[in-house]
Amino acid sequence: MVYREAMGASPVEWAGRAYTEINDLAGRDGSVLVVPMGSLEQHGPHMPVMTDIYLATSVATAGAEKASEDVPVLVTPPMWVGYSPYHLYWGGSITGEFTHLLQSLQDVALSGIDAGFDAVLFVNGHGGNGPLKSAAVQTVAASVDAPVELLGVTYYYLAEPIIHELRDSEMGGMSHAGEFETSLMMYLRPELVDEGEMEVNVRSTRKGGYEHAFQDFFEDEGGAGRRNPLAVSQSESRTTRESGVTGDPTVASEEKGEVLFEFLRDELADLLADIHDHNRE
């Protein structure tokens, strides 16, 4: 324990533990394994390509650390390749084939279950990974006889309760590399945010012009919980190419990022406590 603390490692870090420690923690009643999911992809000219990986891992780790006094929980290294073929146009992005990525998620979850964890939670930070997350939850749960639980959450949706009182951008401003993600990065890694390179590209309509399609991470205030129920994907010849940003990073701030991060940490810690309680014998 002393060497990990001296090196500044997180107490919930799977990779920083000996196998004996992992086995001991996994064997505790109601143990939870957290698997962050991200993507290495462009986030406009003002932010690093690791944004989705870094934010998902930071929220997952902070939430697990807060819950760890009462919850036996570990966090794996992030799944850093995501499903991002639509970002390749701008460069700087790496994508995986859908079925290969799904197999990787299944393998990680099954390894955690084999180690003795009672529940596996995928914490996703990239929109294109949403179907992967859901497919992994369903397929792994259906493939094992052990009494385990598979769960998945896209972390930024946890901020819904406070988002409308916090945001300054119009609807569409909290999308890819916009106000939300930029604020978090300005708080967590300000040296990696170039404010002089910020571009605004707010969708004037929902994707493809469909009323029920994606426009923003969050629904319009008073939207009765309806979140972008229509999936829309267009071929490259139909895709708008003006900017790698779909949002408004210019209204982001470190102060907003701090409020968002602390809220997300607390929400995830509460979720982990619930998962722990639901999976105790």
Report pLDDT for 231.
73
pLDDT for residue 7: 41
Per-residue pLDDT reduced to its tens digit, 102-137? 999 999 999 999 999 999 999 999 999 999 999 999
pLDDT tens per residue, range 151-206: 999 999 999 999 999 999 999 999 999 999 999 999 999 999 999 999 999 876 66
pLDDT at 106: 98
Domains, the chain, in order of start with CATH, read 2-278 (3.40.50.10310)
Q: Average per-residue pLDDT in the chain?
A: 90
The rounded percent of the chain whose pLDDT value lies above 90 is: 79
Query: Which pLDDT belongs to residue 230?
Result: 74
Max mean pLDDT among 87-91, 107-111, 217-221 falls in 107-111
Single-letter code of the amino acid located at 28: R
Is the Cβ–Cβ distance between 53 and 94 less than 8 Å? no
Task: Quickly state the pLDDT bin for 9 (edges 50, 70, 90).
Answer: confident
Angle at 65 between CA 119 and CA 133, to 5 degrees: 40
Q: What confidence tens digit (pLDDT) does each residue in 30-68 have?
A: 999 999 999 999 999 999 999 999 999 999 999 999 999
DSSP 8-state symbol, 248 = -
Assess contact for 112 and 97: CB atoms under 8 A.
Answer: no
pLDDT band for position 1 (50/70/90)? Answer: very low
240 confidence band (pLDDT: 50, 70, 90): low
Q: What share of the chain is helix, strand, coil (3-state, %, to 5)?
A: 50, 10, 40
